[in-house]
Chains A and B, each alone.
Chain A
Amino acid sequence: MAAWPAITDIAEGVKTGRLKAVEQVKQSLKAIDDAAEYKAIIAKTEKRALERAEELDKRISNGETVGRLAGVPFIAKDNFLAYGADTTAASNILKGFDAPYQATAIERLEDEGAICVAKANLDAFAHGSSTENSDFFTTLNPHDKTRVPGGSSGGSATSVVLDMVPFAIGTDTGGSIRQPASFTGAVGYKPTYGLVSRSGVVAMASSTDVIGPLAKTTKDAAMVLDAMAGQDTLDSTTIERDDSYADLSASLKGKKIGVIKEYMSEGLDKDVKKQIDEAIAKLKEAGVEISEVSLPSLPLALAVYYIIMPAEVSSNLSRYDGQRFGYTYEKAKDLDESYSKSRSKGFGREAKRRIMIGTYVLSSGYYDAYYKKAQTVRTKLINEFNEAFSNVDFLLGPTTPTTAFKIGENTDDPLKMYLSDIMTVAANLTGVPAISIPAGEVDGLPVGLQLMAAQSRDKQLLQLAKAAEALW
């Protein structure tokens, strides 16, 4: 399968009639079928996609103006509510759920002429780092079929790397865009909390969930962000956006980057470290001022995350009670049995684990010791990040401590699995934007470099990432 041209080139071609939207969609659907063995996709939205493409082509031939993403096919992680196929969040409890409305992110992409062609696999309810927690199947790493693609947006990342689409969208609650981007060699962008509306996205942890793009280049990711970003009356946590995220011309010279000390030490694979060090050296050569920055509370971030996230998960999953939508245990004799059987049969192991942890940390008697303390440390972490960003423009580190691990390697040890989020969760807890861009390989497996900026400095971060990309 041939690589896709840049998103702007596809859209430009479709707008001028040189390319047909229908052909783009067909090419995408074929690529999906050709790479079926990687199991990146839960369902195609073929019929709707072709109809929308035909309509778009007709509008263009009628001389109507169309959007910036005209005719660009994309894949949405299956926790985005979208028309054209069921929205399952890769869970049995939502199997067969036909969304009655669409996510704002999807709506905005469609408004710009982009066409959703399929729904991608994920860890059920986005709970995981490998797609192995999908209630349906595990997606394979495009570089090595015995390895995981990362998660939870593993299907989205794989679909981009295997050229099924020019871009995909995912969600990042603790690293779920950046970690699979790192494992598969894609660019994965996690915007500032609130920059993209969460409306119509199956909630995981409301205070850290963000929506973002996965693409082959930073420029493409920025184009997608530009279409999705901004306030939404359906999500009161959304924030004001910059005028444009598409103009990325900026120089590296004089930029100050702090290398995060805590991420470069213990626990980091030495070959991965070598790649990161090389990237740092190249940035230095390009005129970037590199310094070391320490964030003392960072080692606590994972623990804090695994208290706050399950607390919110346990609450957000309460609505899946078998009464209004999704799976219902039909043979229940009374209400209590209907609740307990619908939920125990409908939810997978990881969802249940998180519901139990979350319920525990919120229960009276434990709230202060866990949830409240975690929030206190979270505030401390935010202060440390603020302080760091008063000295440097950006922070740098690896996205993950290792390259993609083997399928089944961590499934028996949830703690070990959780450790693969260790370098990504801090950006979620503090709400800052972060990006993972490919930075070399170790034994044929991609390494991801993570860059972070202060809240709402999304444009500057994308500019940095684009300039860095050009260095290697």
Chain B
Amino acid sequence: MAKITVKKMANKYHSAIGIECHVQLNTKTKLFAAVGNDARGAKPNSLISHICLGMPGALPVLNQKAVELAARMAFAVNTKPQKYSYFERKHYFYPDLPKGYQITQLQKPIIKGGYVEIDSLSSEDGQTKKIKLNRVQIEEDAGKNTHPAGADYSLVDLNRAGTPLFEIVSEPDISSAEEAKTYARELYLLVKYSGVGDADLYHGNMRFDVNVSLSDDPKKLGTRTETKNLNSFKSVFGAVEHEIARQTELLQKGQKIVQETRGWDEAKQKTISQRGKEEAHDYRYFPEPDIPPIELDDDFINKIDKSMPVLPVEWRRRLKSLGLDKSFTETLIEAEAEDEKVSYLGLIEQNLEEKELAKFLAKMFVNVEIPLRRADETSGLTKDVSRADIYSGIYELLKDNKLSSTATKSLLTELLKTGAQPENLEKYADEQGYIQVSNEKEIEKIVAEVVKENTAAAEDVRSGEAKAIGFLVGQVMKKSLGKANPEIAKKLIKQQLGV
């Protein structure tokens, strides 16, 4: 019931949604200390040094890799990194923050502006929208506090303290839950494509905070709420949808929106208030004196620019000529970023001229190779050249009617699983029983047997029941172990039964 009212009311209010996204960078070491950065599965407090502990005399030393990744991120969001930026200290006391301040950026972040172009999944007409970014800043993560149930103490794990993060702050340009989800996914893709982070949502390596406000005046922003720590596109969608509904209902009733931090209850699919009152923090920011400002020269910036890969927006444009289903394109774009050793889009692009082959590749990738790779069922075969050989070989056999579509998939699956690279693919396929039999004499024999064994179905066909032919073809296929050319089998059945 609530949902229907929401949709009606949503027309009256304009929603302005801004998203802050924290992404963990995939540097080997922490942002300011030469200590391992991947805390997944590590024993608590096993990835720490005197710097992570905030020991007296410990000084932060900036990981230059993080700067390089920031420069990559800048190009990924259609801008350039700032030539001059610096870190600042943000002060507050908490046990997961050993120094009593977080090193972050405020006045001079490394990326200012830029935008993310989103291509809404729901719009098939390929319309895009630019979501402007306010900034991307580099900052360090805090540690993790755990509060064992019933215990009169809390535990602090500092493995994550000092892990490099980007905080990617959008302008409130997003106007629906669907757009919010699409934006989140697009950011995910950009992070993956630019090699900035693994964007492992499950482990919280990419988290979203959504700011939602409603206003009946499109030129003004309403009071916003911030729903924090969303770690899936689905929850981004859910939280925004619920906030719009909740706020709409309040405004309808003439009530005011409280500016507050909210959390997401996954089970109830609701946002819930986390703090009664928004505390007015004074973080006493000031420039971090232990780290000199980051100054980037043109050479460095140009080098990064040149090393950038083709990004999703551009892939979508390039694949357009194939007329693929949107979901096909998106699956390919997503999969492209999943394993750096395996390229799908590259292979398709090399064959764009030969449209049928390119489409064949797209179909096989989406239906066969990508599911296999995701299930980790492939052998080590990853090279473009070897994979291109296999695909073109199979494509030729299919075109020559030597493979049924079922056998095509089976043969491809086998090759990808075993990693076999046969010199003569046709011979190999034949030996393995994939080549379909188009020899009419051979099929005739089988058809005769099938007709004899299935008198009832044969009678049905004779009396004009077309469906029964399908059954008989199936029997022929079964008997031929899938090798009979089904078109020929059908023709021969009809011949034998005189229809």
Question: Could you tell me if A315 and B89 are in contact, using CB atoms closer than 8 angstroms?
Answer: yes
Asked if A100 and B290 make an inter-chain contact with CB atoms under 8 angstroms apart, the answer reads no
Complex contacts, B53 vs chain A, CB 8 Å: 324
Please determine whether A203 and B57 come into contact, CB atoms closer than 8 angstroms.
yes
- List, in ascending order, chain A residues with CB within 8 A of B93's CB: 318, 321, 339
A87 near B56 (CB under 8 angstroms)?
yes
Q: A236-B290, A364-B282 are in contact. Are A315 and B57 (CB under 8 A)?
A: no
A215 in the interface (beta carbon within 8 A): no
Contact check, B98 vs A319: say whether CB atoms are below 8 A apart: yes
Determine if A234 and B59 form an interchain contact, defined as CB atoms under 8 angstroms apart.
yes
Bound Cα distance A94, B285 (Å)? 26
Bound CA span A339–B92, Å: 12
- Contact B289–A324 (Cβ < 8 Å): no
A339–B95 alpha-carbon span in the complex (Å): 10
* Given A318-B101, A335-B95: A81 touches B56 (CB 8 Å cut-off): yes
Residues of A with C-beta under 8 A to B282: 363-364
Distance in angstroms from A21 CB to nearest chain B CB is 27
Contacts of A202 in B (CB 8 A): 56-57
Q: Is A371 touching B100 in the complex (CB atoms < 8 A)?
A: no
Query: A97–B285 Cα gap in the complex (Å)?
Result: 29
B284 touching A359, Cβ below 8 Å: yes
> A-facing mask of B271-305, CB < 8 A → 1, else 0?
00000000000101110011110000000000000
Which A356-383 residues have C-beta < 8 A from chain B?
A: 359, 362-364, 367, 371
B54 touches A236 (CB 8 A): no
A103:B91 contact, CB within 8 angstroms = no
* B256 surroundings in chain A (CB, below 8 A): none
Whether, in the assembled complex, B456 has its beta carbon less than 8 Å from a beta carbon of chain A, the answer is no
When the two chains form their complex, are residues B56 and A97 in contact, meaning their CB atoms are under 8 A apart?
yes
Contact assessment for A321 and B61 in the assembled complex, using a CB-CB cutoff below 8 Å: no
Given contacts A311-B286, A319-B100, contact A100 B91 (CB under 8 A): no
Given A318-B101, A321-B93: A236 and B291 within 8 A (CB)?
yes
Give the distance to chain B from A128, nearest Cβ to Cβ, in Å: 18
A198 within 8 A of B: yes
Contact A315 B61 (CB under 8 A): no
A319 to B101, CA, bound (A): 8
Given A206-B290, A319-B100: A235 in contact with B89 (beta carbons within 8 A):
no
Interface string of A83-117 (1 = CB under 8 A from B): 00001010000100101110100000000000000
A168–chain B nearest beta-carbon distance, Å:
18
Question: Which residues of chain B are within 8 angstroms of A201 by Cβ–Cβ distance?
Answer: 57
Q: Is B62 positioned at the interface, with any CB of A under 8 Å from its CB?
A: yes
B55 at the interface (CB under 8 A from A): yes
In A174-209, the 8 Å CB interface with B consists of 198-203, 205-207
* Given A311-B286, A318-B99, A359-B284, also A236-B61 (CB < 8 A): yes
Q: Once bound together, how far apart are the Cα atoms of A314 and B59, in whole Å?
A: 16
Whether B341 sits at the interface, judged by CB under 8 Å, is no
Q: Which of B59, B91, B98 is in CB contact (< 8 Å) with A198?
A: B59
- Shortest CB-to-CB span from A83 to chain B, Å, is 13
Per the bound structure, the CA–CA distance linking A335 and B154 in Å amounts to: 10
Residues of chain A within 8 A of B286, CB atoms compared: 311-312, 315, 362, 367, 371
Q: Judge whether B100 and A235 touch: CB under 8 Å.
A: no
Q: Is A325 an interface residue (CB 8 A)?
A: yes
- Does B50 count as interface, using CB distance less than 8 angstroms? yes
Q: Which residues of B contact A312 (CB under 8 A)?
A: 286, 289
Residues of A within 8 A of B100 (CB): 315, 318-319, 321
5 A-B pairs with least C-beta separation: A318-B100, A206-B289, A207-B289, A362-B284, A200-B57
New contact pairs (14) apart from A99-B57, A200-B57, A235-B61, CB-CB < 8 Å? A81-B56, A89-B56, A199-B59, A234-B59, A236-B292, A237-B291, A312-B289, A315-B89, A315-B101, A319-B54, A324-B53, A324-B98, A325-B55, A364-B282
CB-defined A-B contacts under 8 Å, sample of 12? A100-B50, A103-B57, A200-B57, A200-B58, A201-B57, A206-B290, A235-B59, A318-B93, A324-B53, A335-B95, A335-B154, A359-B284
Residues of A within 8 A of B (CB): 81, 87, 89, 94, 97, 99-101, 103, 198-203, 205-207, 233-237, 311-312, 314-315, 318-319, 321, 323-325, 335, 339, 359, 362-364, 367, 371
Chain B residues packing against A (C-beta within 8 Å)? 50, 53-62, 89, 91, 93, 95, 98-101, 154, 156, 282, 284-286, 289-292
